[in-house]
A and B are shown apart, each in its own frame.
Chain A
Amino acid sequence: MTGKIKSISNPKISLEILTPEEILRLHTATLDIIEKTGIRFPSKRALDIWEAHGAQVDRETSIVKVPGQIIEDALKLAPPKYSLAARDPAQDLPLDGNHVFLGTDGCGVEVLDIHTGQRRMSAWQDVADIARIGDSLEEIAFHWVAVSAQDYPAKTRGLHELRAIWENSTKHAQTESIYNEREAKAAVEMAAVIAGGKETLRKRPLLSIMQCTAPPLGQDGGSLDAALIGAKAGLPVGFMTMAACLTTAPATLAGTLVVGNAEVISATALIQLAYPGAPVFYAAAQTASDLRTGAYTGGGPEDFLFGAAQNKLADFYNIPISMGSFATGAKEPNWHAGVENSLSTFMASVVMSDMLLGVGLLHGSRIWSYSQMLMDCEIFSIIHKVMQGIVIDDETLALDVIRNVGPGGNFLSQKHTLKHMREIFIPQFMDRRPYNVWEEKHDDGRDWALDKARNILSTHQPEPLDPAVSSELNRIIATVEKG
């Protein structure tokens, strides 16, 4: 059935992108903004919590000004390590600072159809198919809702999307597409049914919840309420900032980090004030807006720097991070996609981001491509290999073998070679064939990646959800539908 999950751990490569003094300056600047400029929290519940804890609350504007000490004390309550649970306990994910896990991107609105290649609007079956393929891939550790189930009513769409994932995969689900209290309550209920009760769910969170902030310096009311529901049930909750240079943040990278950090840590602190010790994570996918159009770019050197820098901030606050890497701005799987996804993921991995989001989407997280999904997994595998670095010991120095072969020989028939050759990376989607073979077929990694996806979809059978559980999930969704 499902194999073991591939993660980056025990890295031999590291990067100091910011000095401790620089991180402290970013932190101090962030507290200054939260205390004097304030952050908008348009949720009555959130405002009540802030007020009860001594923050200055303006009910008219929903802007909250919080003394730095309150933020710092609240953040100290957050657990530094915990695990994301999976339906199959062998696939639990320890967020302990020594693992980088990969998920799918989300939430796209179109799909390059796996059979016809035609671009079309995304639907529920796509969420299910993507989850099924993700279930079989060792590189995929957890799921986001990859695309929107637009054939379901908006009211319960987020719940049907989760059902699609749980029915097709035994891995952890992290939803980024539930943004109100009503759906969040039902999602918790659904997760509890699968876990076997609310208390089990608290110990084994099969679901985590990711919410977006509303830059600059704001939160979304429904998202806050949904996150509070999740935290109450013991589900890990994270806030992602996408504040971007030029538009929703200053043109400078440092200023953009301050804006994003202020959004993330203020919301994280709120969760800790409401539910001290609740598992939380930092989340970020910052970028620079395009100079010509102001549009989201989904790539570029600024992205790559943010990808590494924000993990250092999360380390400073001692909480796990979910980092937006991949998610190229390219229109199709091409040079542009390869460059952006490799560099963004390398930078986010080299600093050991706990969760990487994610594989498969093109055009700034809008269009799903199965080719891209599989090729992104290969990028992750390459980085996984690079992060292992170079091991120097007697065995790897291989002096005896070098002496045996001596000048002019070759190493192909050495036992040492046989023993170690499988440590050499074997690509799935790089074309290393002779030129004439390529010339004859004119195919490449994109075709092979798509073939592999088609093959998985037609052969892989995920461990099914108990039919009784499945019908209970449907019952919960139906209740929300009627309500």
Chain B
Amino acid sequence: MQTEDLFKEMAQSITDGESEKAAELAKQSIAMGIDPLDAINKGFVAGVNYVGDQFSCGMMFLPELVMAGEAMKAAVAVLEPELTKRGTERKMLGKVVLCTVEGDIHEIGKTLVGTMLSATGFQVFDMGVDVPVMKIVEKARDVGADIVAMSALLTTTMVHQKDVIEALEDVGLRDKVKVMVGGAPVTQEWVKQIGADGYSEDAIGAARIARQLLGV
């Protein structure tokens, strides 16, 4: 297969949300000696952009966006060892530590935000649900996070978003990270009250806010 045709197929695999196909094409590109950065940027990313555009004009919907994001992840996972081998790395928009706060097991909104952030080009460290305050802070320090993003569905667990911000202050990390909060009970007033930097009611908005906060 010609390189150009391979790139087209790569884009198509993302548009179709075919993770296995995307991984297969990624392997093929390595076998053909194609630079993995080219495979990503000239091949797969074109598919992501197409889906993004179609979504914006109302022709595609959230499940298609999520599946494209997952296909992209599958392709990048295959290409990553090759990137390391060549001593290159994919330029990411920033590092995000993501979780649902302590005492709260509600996962779906948080996971959706993770998918959207990765698809947008962020490196996401998803810590899962019911994550204690200090675990979040330690993770942010360990990975050198640019953003800490926290979800809560209950007004009684939402208070831990404030605790995390205070803990970040205590360890001197607060001015190094942006804090995003989300979940059904979160409002603009709450964001102001606890001194968070941004919030969004939905996952796509969250990716937009993350870019704004980092100016990328």
Binding site for B on A (CB under 8 A): 42, 107, 109-110, 120-121, 148, 150, 154, 157-158, 179, 214, 218, 220-222, 246-248, 251, 289-296, 364, 366
Contact = CB atoms under 8 A, between A and B. Distances in A.
Given A179-B156, A293-B203, A110 B105 contact: no
Nearest to A218: B105
Interface of A is mostly: loop
B202 A293 contact: yes
Given A150-B155, A214-B106, A220-B105, A294 B112 contact: yes
B156 A107 contact: no
Contacts of A246: 62-63
Contacts of A109: 155, 185, 187, 190
Nearest to A183: B156
B61 interface: yes
Contact of A292 (B61, B108, B156, B185): B61
Interface of B: 55, 58, 61-63, 103, 105-106, 108-109, 112, 154-157, 159, 184-185, 187, 189-190, 193, 201-205
A289 B109 CA distance: 11
A157 B187 CA distance: 19
B155 A42 contact: no
A2 to B, nearest CB: 30
B187 A296 contact: no
Contacts of B184: 296, 364, 366
Given A157-B156, A295-B202, 19 more contacts: A42-B105, A107-B155, A120-B189, A121-B187, A148-B155, A154-B157, A214-B106, A221-B105, A289-B62, A291-B61, A291-B63, A292-B55, A292-B58, A292-B62, A292-B204, A293-B205, A366-B184, A366-B185, A366-B187
Contact of A154 (B58, B62, B159, B203): B159
B200 to A, nearest CB: 10
Contacts of A248: 108
A121 B61 contact: no
Nearest to A295: B202
A205 B20 CA distance: 56
Contacts of B58: 292
Contacts of B157: 154
Nearest to B115: A294
B203 A294 contact: yes
Given A179-B156, A248-B108, A110 B202 contact: no
A157 B112 CA distance: 30
Nearest to B109: A294
A211 to B, nearest CB: 12
A137 B24 CA distance: 65
Contacts of B205: 293
* Most B CB within 10 A of own CB, among A289, A290, A291, A293: A293
Contacts of A110: 187, 189
A214 B105 contact: yes
B207 to A, nearest CB: 12
A121 B189 contact: yes
Contact of A293 (B62, B103, B155, B193): B62
Contacts of B190: 109, 121
Q: Across the A-B interface, give the 10 residue pairs with the lowest CB-CB distance, nearest first.
A: A293-B202, A154-B156, A148-B155, A291-B61, A109-B185, A294-B62, A295-B202, A154-B159, A121-B189, A247-B108
A56 B103 CA distance: 26
Nearest to B189: A121
